[in-house]
Amino acid sequence: MKIVSQIVKTASCSVDKKIISKINYGELILVSFNRNDDEKVVDKMIDKLLKMRIFPDENGNTNLNLEQMDGEILAISQFTLYASFKKTNRPSFIECLNHENALTLYSYFQEQLSKKYKKTKFGVFREHMEISLINDGPFTVILDSEEI
């Protein structure tokens, strides 16, 4: 599982030119699953996501987590995070979890993240979405389940 997290001043997700989700200060996260992921991996990644101390304290040091900042989350499914260009110029998605299992795991991710952090909004799985954001910093980090 991979999560790309960006600190944002604001972010929104539109489908068919209509805004379906919008947040103010917090994190825009892009979420992807690979063939080896399961609910245990999702639980571990949610825990890490919510404990990350990536927000500045009063001295400007990255020392605070999302809850301490009273921030929001906008989570977007993005299978392309597992694209591979090894030996090719065209992306291969062989490492991605198939869409049926990814939908099941993403639904579990939505349910668990919403339970653990109420200020969470989502995009729509397998929809063409337009994401707008004002990145703050910019500050972007990548969480990879194989590294935590």
User: Cβ contacts of residue 93 below 8 Å, gap of 6+?
Assistant: 79, 80, 82, 83, 84
β-strand pairing of 62-64 with 55-56: antiparallel
Give catalytic residue positions: 78-80
In Å, how far from its chain's centre is CA 118?
A: 15
Residue 29's H or E segment, with its range, is: strand 26-32
> CB–CB of 121/74 below 8 Å?
yes
